[in-house]
Amino acid sequence: MSVAAGKIELPSRMVECQLPTPILLSEAAERAGVILNVACGGTGSCGGCTVELLSGQFTDAAGSAIALDGHPRRVLACQTQLLAGPFHLRVPRHSLVEAGEKVVMDFADTPTFQLRPPVRKQHLTLTPPTLKDARGDVERVLDALTQHGYEEPILASVYVARQAQAMATANYDVTATVAQAHGQWHLIGIEPGDTTAKLFGAAVDIGTTTVVVALVDLLAGRIVDVASSYNRQIIRCDDVASRISYASTWQRLMEMRDLIVSDTINRLLALLVSRHELQGSDVLHMCVSGNTVMTHLFCGLSPTGIGGVPFAPISNTPGPYRAGQLHVAMHPEGLVDLAPSAAAYIGGDITSDMYVCGQKQTGQITAMVDIGTNAEIVVGNRDRLIACAAPAGPAFEGHGLTCGMRAAVGAIDAICLNDLSCEPVYTVIGKARPAGVCGSGLIDFVAQARKVGLISAAGRFSPEAMEKCRRIRRVQQGERELTAYEIVPAEQTDDGLTAIVITERDIAALLQAKGVIFAALQIAMKHLGKGFGEVDRFYLAGGFARHIDLDNAVAMGLLPDIPRDRYVFVGNGSLAGAFLCLVDSQVRQELPAVASAPQIIELNLDPDFMDAYTMAMFLP
């Protein structure tokens, strides 16, 4: 195997590297620490890993040599091999998966809770053994705990028994750490001295794209610090369906587990504890909230059953498990709780959302929607809840669109069109040169384009608009020529080569996605026997919902036209649920009942869904 030297040019820096050849450019980028948007898992179908070849020797997917004529040659990194150097690659910003995405790490006001964490510390001053009292050291600790009100039996593992060897050195002045699980107390640690002033846990939201970890002071019941990054599983495949397929073998399942645990959560946890001069072992409890596939991969459980009829997971209520069993870099005997799932596609993140929104407790009619690749919907109140998952697809996350991208630096996140000139005014995340358009900007454009008369109810550019608006033009996309609106000319974009446009095909994809979500809302309300006008509170959960313009989302037909004061932005309800589990043991006990409360409906089995979907694809 030979080695090629070269450089990878990024928007903000240059990476010099040496790589073994031959090697796929997507793998080459990963070895150089550059994470490309390989949304399709390397099949070449998403177009997210576009790079520019400036110099070097390369072959395409068929093994044919790629000729470079002195001009940048655009290729897909997952379909192109580097043969020899010296090489020079340029990566446009929209092809990068960056950790600085616009992520909601906070949440709205959470329900009132009592500070009663299921993990506690108890300082003990014990009597050393004597000939008349030759109890074992572990038993000495357990007996003292019962005297402090902890109910028997209290279980202790061999890990704790080994720690007890240091009790004599500490003159039997120790702190015992206990955790409650399955109705029993577990002795999980013995430390010399009084360490009761230090008690920490971690709340984790595992998203398909983004992971958030919060360090929580369990004595004060507050979040100390938060860190987030992309879910490293994205380097293999981006969406849930692809990950189910990829993890079909034991080797790949373990790879996906390591990517989420070791490469994502453990790194974030290490960052947080180092900021506050702690050790990983100081984190004694972790609560995880995520969709059913993500929690399966986190635990190393096969998600294969979720991928087909009857969509049966390994477990809807996994755990609690010991951190050492899951390879989580915290106290090895610490408990890891997972929010229970209602079904294969109504996961623990939605259970957390339901709890935070109080849908099972209220008599008011509520609706909650968490918009992502799958839009999860729950409607109803304490008397009856209906839930469904709408396969909206990744359009609102920018995938599969000509210039779509995640809400990262360089993404256009808000657009307004002038009523007369139809000229755009837009904002860009990070105040950088624009690289693409993210979900909130896409919603704005469709709503605004309809408002000023550029597009019809079917999302097509009208002949009159094409005559009066200079920004509407024909663009080449593969072998097809499409009509498009140019938001940013090429010379003003991040790479200076490609204009940022929205084509009629892009609009069609957005209308399909919003049509699925709105139709699913209608069907859920039909099963509840209520109309949108009867909804007292409409909760919008998740990071994406936090950043949309409500009026534009309604104008587009994504959300129902009800009084705006009935809408409530929840923020990261998944993280909120994980936080509540950490600080209040009662919440842990209540979540399974919340998860089992909704009646799950399958949209494809409802005879009215296709008609509702067909109508919802049009713009109001």
- Residue 135 belongs to domain with CATH number: 3.10.20.880
Q: Is 545 helix (H, G, I), strand (E, B) or coil?
A: helix
412 in Cβ contact with 427 (< 8 Å): yes
Q: What separation, in Å, do the N-terminal and C-terminal C-alpha atoms of the chain show?
A: 60
Q: Is 110 part of any domain? A: no
In a domain, 506, yes or no: no
Structural domain range at position 182: 119-192
Output the pTM of the full model: 0.82
The tokens of 140 are what?
A: 């000495």
User: How far apart are alpha carbons 118 and 185 in whole angstroms?
Assistant: 9
What's the pLDDT at 106?
Answer: 61
- Angstrom distance (rounded) from CA 88 to CA 612: 51
Q: Is 372 found in the same domain as 242? A: no
The verdict on 524 and 598 lying in the same domain is yes
Q: Along the chain (620 residues), what's the average pLDDT of each consecutive run of 10 residues?
A: 86 86 87 74 72 90 85 87 90 69 54 88 91 89 92 89 86 92 90 93 90 93 86 82 92 96 92 91 96 96 91 91 95 95 93 94 95 87 95 77 82 92 91 88 95 94 86 82 92 86 94 94 97 96 81 96 94 91 93 95 92 94
Q: Which two tokens stand for residue 317?
A: 């209520």
Is 330 found in the same domain as 223? yes
Go through 247-275 and write b for each residue having 16 or more CB atoms within 10 A of its CB, e for each that does not.
Answer: beeeeebeebbbbbbeebbbbbbeebbee
141 and 65 together in one domain: no
| Both structure tokens of 379 | 């409607």
- Do residues 163 and 243 both lie within one domain? no
Q: What is the pLDDT of residue 32?
A: 82
* pLDDT at residue 98, as a whole number: 56
Residue 134 lies inside a defined structural domain of this protein: yes
What's the 3-state SS for 291-313? Answer: CHHHHHHHHCCCCHHHHCCCCCC
Q: Which pLDDT belongs to residue 102?
A: 44
Same domain as 182, residue 272: no
Query: Same domain, yes or no, for 137 and 271?
Result: no
Task: Tell me how many domains the chain contains.
Answer: 5
137, 165, 192 - which closes a domain: 192
Whether 315 and 218 share a structural domain: yes
Q: Is 530 left (phi over 0), alpha (psi -120 to 50) or beta?
A: beta
436-437 sheet: strands from edge to edge = 424-428, 411-417, 436-437
Residue 560 lies in a domain: yes
Helix (H, G, I), strand (E, B) or coil at 88: strand
- Extract the tokens encoding 358: 């109080």
Q: Specify if 331 maps to a domain.
A: yes
The confidence score (pLDDT) of residue 104 equals: 44
pLDDT at 288: 97
Domain end point (choices 501, 525, 544): 501
pLDDT at residue 103 in the model: 44
> What pLDDT sits at residue 108?
61
237 near 300, Cβ under 8 Å? no
Listed residues 192, 215, 235: the one ending a domain: 192
Judge contact between 135 and 165, C-beta under 8 A: no
Quote the CA–CA distance of 587 and 582 in Å, as a whole number.
9
Tokens 């190393």 locate to 300
Please indicate, yes or no, if residue 227 is contained in any of the structural domains: yes
Report the alpha-carbon distance of residue 365 to residue 363 in Å, rounded.
7
pLDDT of residue 109: 63
Q: CB 418: neighbour CB atoms within 10 A?
A: 11
